[in-house]
Amino acid sequence: MTPAVKTLLVLAVVALLFVTEAIPLAVTSIAGAIAVGMLGVIPIKTVFNGLADSNVVLFAGMFVVGAGMFHTGLAQKIGESVVKLFGTSENGLMLGTMAIASILSAMLSNTGTTAALMPVILGVCAAAKIPASRQLMPLAFAAGLGGIITLVGTPPNIIVTGALGAAKLRPFGFFEFAWIGIPITVAGIIYMIFIGKHLLPKAELSADQEIEQEVEATSHDTTKMAISGLILLGVVAVMALGIKAVPLQVAAIIGAILSVLTGCLNEKQAYRSIDWVTIFLFAGMLQVATAMDKSGAGKLIADVVVNMLGGSPSPLLVTAALFILACGLTQFMSNTASTALLAPIGISIAKGLGASPHAVLMAIAVAASCAFATPVGTPPNTLVLGPGGYKFMDYVKAGTGLVVVCFIVSLIVIPIVWPFFPK
């Protein structure tokens, strides 16, 4: 049995366990990583390397920074201000949340945007008496949508631009992605407000959470509130400036350390604030994604799809097929890996048809950012999993429709902006 087949079998079992939740999500994820290691697909000594991934460290740091805002009462105060601006209706808050997140993520890291806004949104939900499960998933989705708008919004955009350059073709411009990014973002927000919200869980706060939230809300200390706010602003500023000497995860950890040292929360509160389900879920799936990349499992899937297209398919059919393939792969492997895998395939197929590769590659980049149907498809989805109290199927229910919306909008807009046969 080839490594690719072994990896696909593991992925199938993992996917089944994710959907049924027969065992906890984090256990399934770590078991999947152990399985690909035991089967020899990846070196056994690298099975737990995901725990040292920069995103995992970023998650931990931002959980602590966010907790500091709650323990000082700052998140609640900000939440009350936002509620006054957008009202207490779910639609108003969802519109405000998604608009702000998509705008920020167009220029900042999707993960950084979600991590920075999550404590604020939790405060908003507390002030508006709305379960966090109604707003955190829209936040993560908006961060993913907004990232499509510019070249630096998400790694797939950079990868397809580089692939075009390597093939001696015109690369995409910095804001060229906005032609598809803005329509998809607007359509996504409309979908979530009118349809997606009905597919979100309505989990209420538990008694313990309500008590804890009440205690936090009454522990106001204006000095510590100011310090907590400055720490968050500092972390976000460093993320926004993209300072190479201070990566996202380093900024987050520095923020977490300062939160403890300045007394915004104590050491025990910092440890308790970290959602370990999120940490282990993401870390485990990173190694499964690595196995898909290294074993050739992802390429095997791509080859099968390409062969199914047969003779000389229309460029639109190829674009649709590669969109679906990229979107399917990115639900379980990194969007960077899926884009890097499919970009050269897309260029080759387009050239073979005598068509411009730009439309095909744009579709691949957009599809790779549509990782909305699973909690492990993209870091923002994983980040809100624990705080939102979500289950695997919650993402499937709300995210699948959003993927379909993105697919339809892409097939309409992309061929218009980037014709297959330009004059």
199 lies in some domain: yes
376 lies in some domain: no
Q: Which two tokens stand for residue 98?
A: 């998604």
List of long-range contacts for 7-11, beta carbons under 8 Å, 24+ apart: 7/36, 7/41, 7/288, 7/291, 7/292, 7/295, 7/297, 8/297, 8/300, 8/301, 10/35, 10/36, 10/39, 10/41, 10/288, 10/291, 11/288, 11/292, 11/297, 11/332
Cα–Cα distances (Å) from 82 to 86, 217, 340, 347, in that order, read 6, 16, 40, 46
Answer whether residue 209 shows pLDDT above 60: no
307 lies in some domain: no
Q: Average pLDDT in the 102-106 region?
A: 86
Judge contact between 110 and 379, C-beta under 8 A: yes
Q: What is the pLDDT of residues 325-337, one digit of tens each?
A: 899 988 877 777 7
Packing angle of the helix pair 136-146, 90-105 (nearest 10 deg): 30
pLDDT at 213: 42
Q: Average pLDDT in the 226-237 region?
A: 88
154 lies in some domain: no
304 lies in some domain: no
Integer Rg of the chain from CA: 21
198 lies in some domain: yes
Judge contact between 56 and 283, C-beta under 8 A: yes
Answer whether residue 211 shows pLDDT above 60: no
- Identify the band that residue 17 occupies on the pLDDT scale cut at 50, 70 and 90: confident
The distance of Cα 301 from the centroid of its chain, to the nearest Å, equals 23
Residues 342, 185: Cα–Cα separation, whole Å: 23
Answer whether residue 217 shows pLDDT above 50: no
pLDDT at 107: 75
Residues 24, 396: Cα–Cα separation, whole Å: 17
Helices (H) and strands (E) in the chain, counts: 20, 0
pLDDT at 65: 87
Furthest-apart CA atoms within the chain: distance in Å: 70
324 lies in some domain: no
Count of domains for the chain: 1
Q: Average pLDDT in the 186-206 region?
A: 86
Q: Average pLDDT in the 348-377 region?
A: 89
Answer whether residue 33 shows pLDDT above 50: yes
In terms of Cα–Cα distance, which of 327, 329, 271 is closest to 297? 329
Say if pTM beats, i.e. exceeds, 0.85: no
**The total number of residues written for the chain in this structure:** 423
pLDDT at 320: 93
Q: Average pLDDT in the 27-42 region?
A: 92
Q: What is the pLDDT of residues 107-121, one digit of tens each?
A: 777 877 888 788 888
**Residue type at position 306:** V
Answer whether residue 89 shows pLDDT above 90: no
pLDDT at 203: 63
- Interior/surface letters 308-330, b for 16+ CB within 10 angstroms, e for the rest: eeeeebebbebbbbbbebbbbbb
In whole numbers, what is the pLDDT of the chain averaged over residues?
85
168 lies in some domain: no
- The dihedral region occupied by 40, where left means phi > 0, alpha psi between -120 and 50, and beta the remainder, is left
Percentage of the chain modeled with pLDDT above 70: 94
- Identify the band that residue 376 occupies on the pLDDT scale cut at 50, 70 and 90: confident
Structural domain harbouring 125:
52-136+181-277
